Structure formats: C-alpha cells, structure tokens
C-alpha cells in the first residue's frame, strides 16, 4: 500500500523554493529516519569528485562517521560511491571490512547500517541509515531508502539547475541594463555633438580606452554629468 505521508514529504523535499542544499540534506536525513522501519538515525552528504561538500545528520553522535571513513580511506560510504550499490553492515560488532568505521560506530551505539549513493556526474548524494540493534535494517527495506536517496539526488540536480538559471537571468538582466545605460549616453552625445549613433559610441570607446574604464562606466558618467568631455 502506498504511504501518503511519504509521498507528501517526498514531494515537499523535491520543492526547490527557498531551500539551500544544506537544508535539503537535513530534510533528506530526517525523512529517512522517520520513514524507514527500525532506522534510529541517518546521515546525508553531498559529494563532489569523491570529497564531501556538505553533510547532515539527525543526531550529533553519528555526524562524524564520514570523517572516520575519510581518515581511514575505507567504509560503507566509500564503497557505495565506488560501486553504486547498497552497502549493508548487519552488525558493527563483527564487521571486519572497515574496522575503524565499525569501532567508531559501535562506540556511538550503532549496531547496523545501510548506505546508498546516487551519482549525478561529478556530484553524488549518499544516505546512510543506522539502527541501535544488529540486523534490523533488512536489505528488503532498501527500495524505500533508494527512493529517498534518488529524491535527494534529483533535488540536488534541481537546485543546481535552479542556480544556473538564476545566474543566467542575472547576467541577462545586467546586460540589458548596461545596454540601456549606453543607449541613453549615446543619445546625450548625439544631441550635444550632432553626430550619429555609431560616432557617439566610438567617442565613448575612445574615452574608455584613454581612461582605462569600461564603456558602461563612461556612459554612466556622461549621464550623471551631462557633459561630453568625460575623462
């Protein structure tokens, strides 16, 4: 049966309005912790070229497990990023693949974990689920966690595209404003000198070169002063 709460919260997670990447990762970790049975805590991280950029955790006790992996060079997040597979640690008490991670996790009350990764070019999102008892995070629960980490990955992509779109819009706006300023200054020069638009623009370029200024700066000075001999 579909979970209406999960559907609603996942839809909210994918909303790009007024959300930073840090906030989105925090919401991803919190959503996983609430919705995955037996999960008592979760961490989420945004990676670029195998280096963590932003991390989030539902509890401070588990917030440094990624750092432990980075120092030792091995652990479930490292494996998940390298293989793209769900990495299951049934019991940290007997875990031999990553002794540094297992020891640190055990000292913080973690007995079981599942880690997933979603790759999007040089960017990746990891989601790690933790439990206080061994073997309670059954691999059959992974499809739900995969849904969540995929939602997180899609959100990061949306945020990146949203940021690119905002930058493009800002550049177009600035270019339009600059052209308006230059056109206004050209009008002043054409009226004062009785010259053509091309001649007015040439005069501004000449002043620009002589004064080591951009043409838009020259145009603003002409508009502000209403004089021809700027620079």
Q: What is the pLDDT of residue 231?
A: 43
pLDDT tens column, 192-220: 888 888 888 888 888 888 888 888 888 88
Distances (CA, A) of 166 to 147, 161, 173, 210: 28, 9, 10, 35
Output DSSP code: residue 121: T
Question: Quick check: 169 pLDDT over 50?
Answer: no
pLDDT tens column, 4-42: 454 455 545 544 444 567 787 888 888 888 878 888 999
Q: What is the pLDDT of residue 30?
A: 87
**How large is the average pLDDT for residues 133-139?**
87
Question: Quick check: 143 pLDDT over 80?
Answer: no
Contact between 58 and 36 under an 8 Å Cβ cutoff? The reply is: no
Q: What is the pLDDT of residue 14?
A: 46
For each of the domains in the chain, give its residue range(s) and CATH number, in order of start: 17-164 (3.30.450.80), 166-225 (1.10.10.10)
């Amino acid at each position: 049966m579909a979970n209406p709460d999960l559907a609603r919260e996942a839809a909210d997670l994918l909303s790009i309005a007024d959300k930073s990447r840090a906030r989105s990762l925090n919401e991803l970790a919190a959503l996983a912790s609430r919705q995955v049975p037996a999960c008592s805590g979760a961490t989420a991280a945004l990676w670029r070229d195998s280096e963590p950029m932003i991390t989030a955790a539902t509890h401070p006790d588990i917030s440094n497990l990624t750092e432990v992996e980075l120092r030792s060079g091995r652990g479930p997040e490292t494996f998940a990023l390298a293989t793209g597979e769900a990495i299951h640690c049934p019991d940290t008490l007997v875990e031999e693949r990553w002794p540094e991670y297992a020891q640190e996790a055990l000292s913080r009350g973690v007995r079981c974990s599942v880690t997933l990764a979603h790759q999007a070019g040089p960017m990746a999102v990891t989601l790690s689920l933790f439990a206080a008892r061994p073997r309670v995070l059954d691999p059959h629960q992974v499809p739900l966690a995969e849904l969540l980490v995929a939602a997180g990955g899609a959100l990061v992509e949306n945020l990146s595209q949203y940021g690119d779109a905002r930058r493009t819009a800002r550049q177009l706006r600035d270019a339009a404003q600059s052209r308006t300023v230059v056109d206004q200054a050209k009008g002043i020069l054409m009226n004062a000198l009785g010259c053509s638009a091309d001649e007015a623009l040439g005069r501004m370029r000449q002043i620009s070169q002589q004064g080591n200024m951009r043409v838009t700066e020259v145009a603003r000075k002409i508009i502000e002063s209403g004089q021809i001999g700027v620079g």
